[in-house]
């Protein structure tokens, strides 16, 4: 897909999501944090029962797990559901169509076939436990990149502006190795269109950092991209459109924003609870871990605890929102197409 010319007007300037235009797909989902979209209109959403939910274009759905877990029940015990047990988080397709799963609960990188057979790929690196594996991404050279948010357990204790123990690891023919560290709760990562830069969501720092990608996979020239603070909430998921805008979700404030190629911040959707968000922001700014009760009080109604944004549909002009507390996937049409992920051309 060709990037839009830089001299054309930015389609996001002056545009915001109309809440009345939002529709939903999927029912009874459990923590649909990350969503993968395929050319045929299928969606694959992370599911806290231990795998993924496959949602077909006609809306029918199938839970794909090796053994379903029943630990996730927000009404019975919100803290236990969100902090412990199997928590499939970031997803990526392997070249053969298997699903790579960054499991935030088992602290492992897993792989699952589309029939539900799963196994652990890695749960340690350099002889040490991986930690809270958050996200997984495959590049065009078939290399696997993972983020580890923290080694602190439960992860909620690491939502702290004074802690920077997150890292990025690369898995290639040489095996797994850490290529960058010292991040404030490493979350989603994305490449630009040419895979020249790797962009990193640093949740507890409210910023996006980028690093230049060298041919051997090493990362250099680390710098902040866009504003040093993205405002209320904490940055979670990021993804590019074909104009070069970097879309981002601000969890706990339930804001959808975008950073333009020039570094300007655009607000696209605001669905949070201002008072609860202000309490969260104050605790985060204190340098102490944010209390779970403070976090639990935040969130909106469209995609509660808004965590990710994914482009899908035949021409990548539909945006799908992932969340930690939602039971369905909101979606809406956008004025600019999304940047295809590596799997877009793997399977027809």
Cα torsion for 170, 173, 176, 178, to the nearest 10°? -50
**What pLDDT was estimated at residue 196?**
98
Distance in angstroms (rounded) separating the CA atoms of residues 81 and 329 = 19
Among 337, 339, 329, smallest CA distance to 22 is for 329
- Which of 13-22, 63-72, 236-245 is predicted least confidently? 63-72
Give the domains, in start order, of the chain with CATH numbers.
Answer: 44-339 (2.120.10.30)
**What pLDDT was estimated at residue 2?**
43
**What pLDDT was estimated at residue 256?**
98
Sequence-distant (6+) residues with CB within 8 A of 199 are 189, 190, 191, 192, 208, 209, 210, 225, 238, 240, 246
Check: CB of residue 159 under 8 Å from CB of residue 115: no
Per-residue pLDDT reduced to its tens digit, 268-318? 999 999 999 999 999 999 999 999 999 999 999 999 999 999 999 989 999
> Is the peptide bond prior to 290 cis by the omega test (within 30 degrees of 0)?
no
DSSP state of 12: T
Per-residue pLDDT reduced to its tens digit, 96-147? 999 999 999 999 999 999 999 999 999 999 999 999 999 999 999 999 999 9
Check: CB of residue 308 under 8 Å from CB of residue 321: yes
Per-residue pLDDT reduced to its tens digit, 324-338? 999 999 999 999 999
Residues 38-48, mean pLDDT to the nearest whole number: 96
């Amino acid at each position: 897909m060709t990037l839009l010319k830089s001299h054309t007007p930015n389609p996001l300037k002056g545009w915001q999501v109309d809440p009345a235009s939002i529709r939903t797909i999927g029912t009874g989902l459990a923590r649909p944090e990350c969503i993968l979209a395929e050319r045929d209109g299928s969606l694959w959403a992370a599911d806290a029962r231990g795998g993924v939910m496959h949602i077909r274009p006609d809306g029918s759905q199938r839970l794909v797990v090796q053994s379903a877990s029943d630990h996730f029940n927000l009404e019975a015990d919100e803290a236990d559901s969100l902090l412990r047990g199997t928590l499939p988080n970031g997803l990526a397709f392997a070249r053969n169509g298997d699903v790579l799963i960054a499991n935030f609960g088992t602290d492992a990188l897993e792989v699952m076939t589309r029939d539900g057979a799963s196994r652990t790929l890695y749960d340690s690196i350099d002889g040490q436990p991986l930690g809270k594996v958050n996200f997984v991404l495959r590049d065009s050279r078939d290399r696997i990149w993972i983020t580890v948010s923290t080694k602190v357990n439960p992860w909620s204790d690491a939502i702290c502006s004074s802690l920077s123990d997150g890292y990025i690891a690369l898995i290639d023919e040489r095996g797994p190795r850490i290529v960058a560290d010292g991040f404030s709760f490493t979350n989603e990562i994305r490449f630009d269109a040419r895979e020249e830069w790797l962009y990193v969501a640093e949740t507890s720092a409210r910023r996006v950092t980028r690093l230049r990608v060298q041919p051997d996979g090493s990362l250099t020239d680390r710098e902040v991209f866009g504003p040093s603070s993205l405002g209320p909430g904490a940055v979670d998921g990021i993804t590019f459109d074909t104009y070069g805008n970097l879309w981002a979700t601000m969890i706990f404030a339930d804001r959808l924003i975008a950073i333009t190629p020039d570094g300007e911040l655009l607000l696209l959707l605001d669905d949070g609870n201002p008072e609860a968000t202000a309490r969260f922001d104050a605790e985060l700014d204190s340098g102490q871990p944010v209390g779970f009760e403070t976090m639990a009080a935040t969130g909106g109604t469209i995609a509660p605890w808004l965590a990710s944004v994914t482009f899908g549909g035949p021409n990548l002009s539909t945006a799908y929102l992932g969340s930690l507390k939602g039971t369905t996937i909101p979606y809406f049409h956008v004025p600019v197409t999304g940047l295809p992920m590596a799997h877009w051309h793997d399977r027809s």
